[in-house]
Amino acid sequence: MLKTLIKFFKFAKSEAGLFKKGIVFGVLSSIFEALQLPALAVVIKALVEGNVTVQTAWLSFGIMAISTAGVVIFNQRSRMSEIDGSFLMCADTRTSIGERMKYMPMGFFNQNNLGYITSAVTSTMEDMQDIAPRIVEKLLHGIIHIVIITIMLMFFDWRIGLITLGGALLFMLINIVMQARSRKISPNRVKAQENIVGAVLEYIQGMGVVKAFNQAGIAQKKIKEAIADCEKWNFGLEITFIPIMFLQSLCLKLVSVVLIAASIAFYFSGTMELYYCLLMLVAAFMLYGKLDMAGSVSALMRTIDLSIDKVNTVNNYPLMDTDGKAITPKNLDIELKDISFSYESKKIIDDVSLSIPQGTTTALVGPSGGGKTTLCNLIARFWDVDEGEITLGGVNIKNYTLDSLLANISMVFQDVYLFNDTIENNIKFGKPDATHEEVIEAAKKACCHNFITELSDGYDTIVGEAGATISGGEKQRISIARAILKDAPIIMLDEATANVDPENEADLQHAISELTKSKTIIMIAHRLKTVRDANQIIVLENGKIAQQGKHEELFNQSGIYRNFINVREDALGWRI
């Protein structure tokens, strides 16, 4: 429990001060609450001695009024400090994760499924925001309260103080058993919550396939199973803890009975005054209220522990951009020197060396899985090479900050992603400070201005998540407009025209021509007309360069490239 509390305050970072302030206010609240005992003592003593006066009533009332006012004020201050701390803590952490993700290697996203990453910043962070502070508050306040009460009782009668302390220690022993049980079950509960998020995301993202194959029942089955699994572990958690929480509560109630019995025994033995015995009879059932409440929530401490570990796994993942400097390259020559790269145990790029001079066009061709896209991703430093080095302008790309490196590169992917925002903002993603006129100029060059103006809201049209409300060719041209607006000197085209219908292809080819004017171009392509004019063609097979040269040179050689061209021409030359 102590380790989890320390971990929680470490996780809170700059907001830990607010939680500590809340604890201080909680201590003050407990001190004022403890003043109820002296208020009761004044009245009971006066009643026993038969000396009740107006002054006695006012004295007791005054102490009780001070106690109540202190409890209300400091409880409210404590709660507000903890609320502010929890919201600011989670806001800071979510922002930190969002910022760090830009500089994480793509391997992180391959190693962790979308459900895990999403749950870390949604349901897990919700637990940290709503549940964790409340549990920490009740637990610490319960412990602090019983400590203060015990100290006060020591001043009245050390024997009663020791019995109270013994009850608290017995409670803690039972709680240790609960924490041990929690360590076994809580990981399954956290995993079950993650699986629900993953199942829902998979169902929504695959809705097109679900409808096309009329398999809604099968797809929903996975969600239902995830929900049932989560229900099982949550229910199991409660079933496991109910007997232990009952035992905790029973222990405190029995200790209260022991306090009453001991007080009566001490009175009859002549070692305790009557008024104090009566005070203990009244106070016995008030002593452990907050500690009992703390025990009821302490079972979730392990869940907090796991939630912190999960968020920290994402938030502390090693970044690629740690030692880089903002560098402006002296030229745009790209050099790959004996580079190798493996994903897990599979080697994707194997000892590749390649020069891409500034202002030239390099086409990457070859069979699927040969390493073409990976090579582009390594140049853009989405991953780091395992061996060798890649340089831009003679400087190792690892010496650049990612921002200064990617400022030189625009990428147009085969699968375009547009954000659920306006068309203008999607284009401005390439240059956030661009004017409306610059956006229109880029859109005209990308051959998408006309179709945009025909939409009901023009450039203010919301395209929906992933650009769901417009066609594939329109999305592709918007992505090219985005790249044109960025105006980076190096352009990477990952089969940008592969999935475009003939009606859009002419516009798209014109858009690409506008994008690539006077640029250094690296293209992944499977069509002859897009590679035959390249300054150099690189044929990749099994992560190695199998052939390299210009179209005529490679076509006159027997090998992969000529076979590739012949197969493509045969495929395109069929007739009905």
For the cut 70, the answer to whether the pLDDT of residue 572 exceeds it is no
Q: If 0-12 CB within 10 Å is exposed, 13-18 middle and 19+ buried, where does residue 158 land? A: exposed
Written as one string, the DSSP assignment of 323-338 is: S-B----SS--EEEEE
Q: Return d(Cα 247, Cα 241) in angstroms, integer.
A: 10
- Complete edge-to-edge strand list for the sheet that includes strand 395-396: 346-356, 334-343, 387-392, 395-396
State the pLDDT at residue 66: 93
User: If you average pLDDT over residues 533-537, what whole number do you get?
Assistant: 86
Written as one string, the DSSP assignment of 171-240 is: HHHHHHHHHHHHHHHHHHHHHHHHHHHHHHHHHHHTHHHHHHTT-HHHHHHHHHHHHHHHHHHHHHHHHH
Q: What predicted TM-score, i.e. pTM, was given to this entire model? A: 0.65
C-alpha dihedral, 496 to 497 to 503 to 508, nearest 10°: 50
For the cut 60, the answer to whether the pLDDT of residue 504 exceeds it is no
Residue reference for tokens 């699927």: 368
Cβ(33)–Cβ(67) below 8 Å: yes
For the cut 70, the answer to whether the pLDDT of residue 98 exceeds it is yes
Q: List the single range of 95-99, 248-252, 294-298, 392-396 with lowest mean pLDDT.
A: 294-298
Among 296, 315, 334, residue at a domain's last position: 315
For the cut 50, the answer to whether the pLDDT of residue 574 exceeds it is no
H or E stretch including 92? Answer: helix 54-101
Higher pLDDT, 530 or 177: 177
Q: Does one domain contain both 196 and 309?
A: yes
| Residue 495 belongs to a domain | no
Q: Return d(Cα 343, Cα 16) in angstroms, integer.
A: 39
Q: Return d(Cα 198, Cα 432) in angstroms, integer.
A: 32
For the cut 50, the answer to whether the pLDDT of residue 192 exceeds it is yes
Instruction: Show the tokens assigned to 176.
Output: 């240790």
H or E stretch including 69? Answer: helix 54-101
Q: Does one domain contain both 298 and 342?
A: no
| Residue 574 belongs to a domain | yes
Burial call 412-425: b when 16+ CB within 10 Å, e when fewer: bbeebebeebbbbb
| Residue 529 belongs to a domain | no
User: Average pLDDT over the chain, rounded to whole?
Assistant: 81
pLDDT (tens digit per residue) in 314-345: 888 777 766 788 888 989 999 999 999 988 77
Higher pLDDT, 502 or 403: 403
Among 282, 315, 348, residue at a domain's last position: 315
| Residue 460 belongs to a domain | no
Most confident of 9-23, 52-66, 417-431, 528-542: 52-66
For the cut 90, the answer to whether the pLDDT of residue 355 exceeds it is yes
Among 315, 347, 369, residue at a domain's last position: 315
Residue 513: pLDDT band with limits 50, 70, 90: confident
| Residue 528 belongs to a domain | no
For the cut 90, the answer to whether the pLDDT of residue 174 exceeds it is no
State the pLDDT at residue 265: 93
Q: Return d(Cα 263, Cα 168) in angstroms, integer.
A: 18
For the cut 90, the answer to whether the pLDDT of residue 487 exceeds it is no
Residue 575: pLDDT band with limits 50, 70, 90: very low
Q: Does one domain contain both 296 and 366?
A: no
How many C-beta atoms lie closer than 10 Å to residue 217's C-beta?
9
Q: Does one domain contain both 256 and 391?
A: no
H or E stretch including 20? Answer: helix 16-34
Cβ(11)–Cβ(84) below 8 Å: no
Paired strand residues for 458:
none
Q: Which of 554, 558, 539, 559 is nearest to 352 (CA)?
A: 539
| Residue 83 belongs to a domain | yes
Q: Does one domain contain both 277 and 385?
A: no
Q: Return d(Cα 41, Cα 283) in angstroms, integer.
A: 10
Residue reference for tokens 């610059």: 438
User: If you average pLDDT over residues 185-196, what whole number do you get?
Assistant: 72
Angle, vertex CA 88, rays to CA 85 and CA 90, nearest 5:
105
Q: If 0-12 CB within 10 Å is exposed, 13-18 middle and 19+ buried, where does residue 303 land? A: buried
User: If you average pLDDT over residues 228-252, what whole number do you get?
Assistant: 79
Q: Return d(Cα 453, Cα 490) in angstroms, integer.
A: 30
Handedness of CA 418, 324, 408, 365 (dihedral sign): negative
Q: Domain containing 363 — which CATH number? A: 3.40.50.300
Q: Does one domain contain both 298 and 185?
A: yes
| Residue 95 belongs to a domain | yes
Q: Does one domain contain both 210 and 178?
A: yes
How many C-beta atoms lie closer than 10 Å to residue 110's C-beta?
11
Q: Return d(Cα 29, Cα 23) in angstroms, integer.
A: 10
Residue reference for tokens 């790209």: 334
Q: Does one domain contain both 361 and 249?
A: no
pLDDT (tens digit per residue) in 194-237: 777 777 766 666 665 555 555 666 667 777 877 888 777 777 77
State the pLDDT at residue 354: 93
- The strand pair at 520-524 and 490-494 is best described as parallel
Q: Does one domain contain both 209 and 347?
A: no
Cβ(242)–Cβ(263) below 8 Å: no
| Residue 242 belongs to a domain | yes
For the cut 50, the answer to whether the pLDDT of residue 405 exceeds it is yes
- Complete edge-to-edge strand list for the sheet that includes strand 361-365: 409-412, 490-494, 520-524, 361-365, 536-541, 544-549
Q: How many domains is the chain partitioned into structurally?
A: 2
Q: Return d(Cα 443, Cα 494) in angstroms, integer.
A: 20
Residue 299: pLDDT band with limits 50, 70, 90: low
State the pLDDT at residue 160: 87
State the pLDDT at residue 335: 94
Cβ(127)–Cβ(48) below 8 Å: no
Q: Counting every residue, how long is the chain?
A: 576
Written as one string, the DSSP assignment of 258-305 is: HHHHHHHHHHHTTSS-HHHHHHHHHHTTTTTHHHHHHHHHGGGHHHHH
Cβ(534)–Cβ(361) below 8 Å: yes
Q: Does one domain contain both 300 and 189?
A: yes
Q: Return d(Cα 463, Cα 469) in angstroms, integer.
A: 5
Written as one string, the DSSP assignment of 142-189 is: HHHHHHHHHHHHHHH-HHHHHHHHHHHHHHHHHHHHHHHHHHHHHHHH
Q: Residue 541: which domain range?
A: 325-407+534-576
Q: Domain containing 134 — which CATH number? A: 1.20.1560.10
Q: List the single range of 263-277, 525-539, 552-566 with lowest mean pLDDT.
A: 525-539
CB within 8 Å of 73: residues ≥ 6 apart: none
Instruction: Show the tokens assigned to 134.
Output: 């409340």
Q: Does one domain contain both 223 and 111?
A: yes
pLDDT (tens digit per residue) in 356-376: 999 888 989 888 888 888 898
3-state helix, strand, coil in the chain (%, to 5): 65, 10, 25
Q: Does one domain contain both 68 and 175?
A: yes
Residue 573: pLDDT band with limits 50, 70, 90: very low
